[in-house]
Amino acid sequence: MASDVSKPLVSVIVPMYNVGMFALPCVNSLLGQTYSNIEYIIVDDGCTDNTIDLIEDAVGSDTRFKILHKENGGLSSARNFGTQRCHGDYVMYVDGDDLIDSRTVELMVEAADKYQVSLVIGSFAKTPVLDNYKMGQNVEFHVESGIEHLRKLLLLSGESGSACGKLFERSLINDLVFPEGQLFEDMGVIAKICSKIQKVAFSDACFYAYVTRPGSITTLRKQGSKHAKDMD
């Protein structure tokens, strides 16, 4: 798709680490976006398998994709690396083995403009491994105060605290710094942002497919004292 530079530029930051073939559905969901002014920043977080080769073959000569390489440092490190190098008016995050609906970027940018908000929030569906994803539901956005949404996050009621499935205006980029070496690394970032902004637009529509697969970090991770400490 040709870029329409009259529209705001959206930077989609995608950390990748040794997900192999599971990267392809993710990349295909990015290639299928209906929005026409996007840069995709694939962060190679020190992959030691063929993940990046597969991605390069999939995207071909598509100039919207930039593949950046760094030493392995984990998810937060990769997100920070990409954020520091993005150029978008808006920023989104997608994990390397997850998928988004083809209308995600377009509908979220429309909501940001319509409601004049710096943060747009969608819901997510937990899914098994998929080749493609369509949310299959009507999309309605609602507006509430940042403090009200912070309350939902602190009560874990209607807000996951994840950085994924959200659209951030560039004005928030100084707050998009993810703590490294910490579990639940997103929650403090999202809490800080919600505490500072006047209002958010949110939808219960599942724009984001959170893929649970054998061998993923979240599948292998056991709950323990570090989880409780880091969430606190």
- 76-128 pLDDT, tens digit per residue, is 999 999 999 999 999 999 999 999 999 999 999 999 999 999 999 999 999 99
Measured in degrees and rounded to the nearest 5, phi and psi for residue 103 equal: -95, 0
Q: How far apart are CA 35 and CA 29, in angstroms?
A: 12
Q: Give the predicted TM-score (pTM) of the model.
A: 0.91
Question: With contact defined as beta carbons under 8 Å apart, do 99 and 211 qualify?
Answer: yes
pLDDT for residue 232 is more than 60 = no
Q: Structure tokens of 124?
A: 């997510």
Q: How far apart are CA 202 and CA 118, in angstroms?
A: 11
- State the greatest distance between any 2 C-alpha atoms of the chain, in Å, as a whole number: 50
Question: With contact defined as beta carbons under 8 Å apart, do 42 and 111 qualify?
Answer: no
β-strands 119-127, 199-211 pairing: parallel
Compute CA 9 distance to the chain's CA centroid, rounded to the nearest angstrom: 16
Q: Domain ranges in the chain?
A: 10-231
Helix (H) or strand (E) holding 131, with range, is none
Q: What is the SS3 assignment for 192?
A: helix
Q: Which fold has domain 10-231?
A: Spore Coat Polysaccharide Biosynthesis Protein SpsA; Chain A (3.90.550)
* pLDDT tens digits for range 44-73: 999 999 999 999 999 999 999 999 999 999
pLDDT for residue 227 is more than 60 = no
Question: With contact defined as beta carbons under 8 Å apart, do 18 and 51 qualify?
Answer: yes
> Closest Cα to residue 140, out of 204, 72, 55, 226?
204
